[in-house]
Structure 1
Amino acid sequence: MRVTLLGTGDTTGTPTVGCSCDTCEAARERGVERSRFSVHVENERTGESLLVDASPDFRAQFLTHEPPLPDEVVVTHVHFDHLDGLGNAYRLLGDLPVHAADEVDPETGESVAGTVQRKFDYLDQLAVRPRSPFEPFSACGLELTLVPVDHPPLVCYGLAIEDPETGAKLSLSGDTSYGIPEASRAVLADPDLLLADAIVPARLCEYHPLGGKHEDDEGVPRTFGTKHMTTEGALALADDLRAAAVRLVHVSHFPTPEEAFCEHAAVDGDVYEL
């Protein structure tokens, strides 16, 4: 299983447009980028490719990193930075199954699958495949399971991807607070690689109107506000799940350069063989 991180940033990316903060300048100097979130998973046994979330930066990501075009897609939730790249199927991709959860969101009155179907009803290439959380399904020769996480006010899902032949496992936290339900944690547990949402270090919770939550024994917040993990929260989740390796994704430009480009923090183009 070859995992390419196409987009490792939050909703504005790093460098952020029009921003000259130290971290954005450091990214420019280093020649690295964190575009909007997307992960490419290639099943090298079958030659098929799966895309987890379709970033609005789809075109630039595929031109820059040159992975194979996807044969199937999974969408974790309906925020634009994870969804709007599906429009790139027009004139570019053939029949494209798009897997998404079938649970109706009380906030929107429709499921993620329903939202994808409605927003992209003009694209004949897309074939939406509603999937029930906790029920494994096959895509690109891999076994996938969507699990609910905590990203209020909308429903959002983490994802476990396993190769049934080799046993390799990739887990994605999805956009979430540290408050991931135990049943979901059980599905995500014991991955070879965990991609964990880590938007800012815990020290920045003081600048959020709601502060932080899910504090550890020393009072360090593992959630920033209500819907994203802190760096400390993401690393704690990796320990909880017994992850062999963890990379921090959905990272914003608010940390210092030293924090933003720390040991575990991913950047676009990182590749992992599982």
Structure 2
Amino acid sequence: MRVTLLGAGDTTGTPTVGCDCDTCAAARERGVERTRFSVHVENERTGESLLIDFSPDFRQQFLRDAVSLPDAAVITHIHFDHLHGLGNAFRVFDSLPVYAADETDPATGESVAETVADQYDYLDPLEVRPTTPLEPVRICGLDVTLIPVDHPPLVCYGLAVEDPETGTKLSITGDTSYDVPDESRTVLADPDLLLADAIVPASLCEHHPIGGRHEDAAGVSRTFGTKHMTREGALALAEELGAERTRLVHVAHFYPADEAFEEPLAVDGERYVL
């Protein structure tokens, strides 16, 4: 299983358009980016590949990293930075199965699968396949499980991607607070590689209108506001899950410049073979 981090950033990316903060300036100086979140997973045994989330930066990411066009895709939730690159399928794909959860979201009155089908009904190549969370489905020769996480007010899912022949496993928390349900933690556990949402360091919780949540014994917030984990929360979750290797993703440009490129914060283009 070959994993390429096409986009390791949050909804505005780093550098952020029109921003001259020290972190964005440092990214430009280093020649690194964190575009909007997307992960490419190649099954080297079958020659097939799976795309997790369609970043608005799809075109730039695929040209830059020279990965193969996916044979299938998974959409974790309907926020702009994870879904709206799907329009790039126009004139690029002859056909593309797109897997998304079949659970009805109380906030929207429809499932992620239904929203994707409704918003992109003009794209003939798309075949939206409603998928039941916590039930593995074979995609591109890999066992993929959608995992409910906590990203209010919308439903959102993480993923476990396992190779049934080698036993290697990629876990992705998805956009989530630290309050990941126990059943989901069980499915995410013991990955060879964990990609964990870590939007900012806990020290920045004081700048959020409602502060931080899910404090540890030392009072360090593991959730920033309500929707995302802090760096400290993501690392705590990684330890609890027994991750062999962890990369922090969905990273915002609000990290102080002297922390923004420290391990294990990911940048675009990283590749891992599991």
Q: With the length of structure 1 as denominator, give the TM-score of the two structures.
A: 1.00
Residue deviations 1:12-69, cap 9 Å, x none?
0000000010000000000000000000000000000100000000000000001000
Offset at residue 180 of structure 1 (A) = 0.2
Residue deviations 1:57-89, cap 9 Å, x none?
000000000100000000000001000111111
Q: Name the aligned partner's letter for residue 181 of structure 1.
A: P
Q: Name the aligned partner's letter for residue 95 of structure 1.
A: S
Q: Say if 2:21 is the partner of 1:16.
A: no
Matches within 5 A, 1:105-184: 105-184=105-184
Residue deviations 1:207-249, cap 9 Å, x none?
0001000000000000000010000000001001000000000
SS in 1 for 2:64: helix
Q: Say if 2:232 is the partner of 1:253.
A: no
Q: Name the aligned partner's letter for residue 102 of structure 1.
A: D
Per the alignment, residue 75 of structure 1 pairs with 75
Offset at residue 259 of structure 1 (A) = 1.6
Matches within 5 A, 1:93-108: 93-108=93-108
Q: Name the aligned partner's letter for residue 119 of structure 1.
A: Q
Mapped to 1, the partners of 2:258 and 2:123 lie a distance apart of: 43
Q: Name the aligned partner's letter for residue 130 of structure 1.
A: P
Residue deviations 1:140-160, cap 9 Å, x none?
000000010000000000100
Q: Which runs of 5+ in 2 are unaligned?
A: none
More deviation, 221-230/251-260: 251-260
Offset at residue 91 of structure 1 (A) = 0.5
Q: Name the aligned partner's letter for residue 115 of structure 1.
A: T
Matches within 5 A, 1:225-236: 225-236=225-236
Q: With the length of structure 2 as denominator, give the TM-score of the two structures.
A: 1.00
Runs of 4 or more above 2 Å deviation = none
Per the alignment, residue 271 of structure 2 pairs with 271
More deviation, 188-197/255-264: 255-264
Mapped to 1, the partners of 2:113 and 2:17 lie a distance apart of: 31
Mapped to 1, the partners of 2:161 and 2:194 lie a distance apart of: 11
Matches within 5 A, 1:191-202: 191-202=191-202
Q: Name the aligned partner's letter for residue 46 of structure 1.
A: T
Q: How many residues align?
A: 274
Mapped to 2, the partners of 1:263 and 1:9 lie a distance apart of: 15
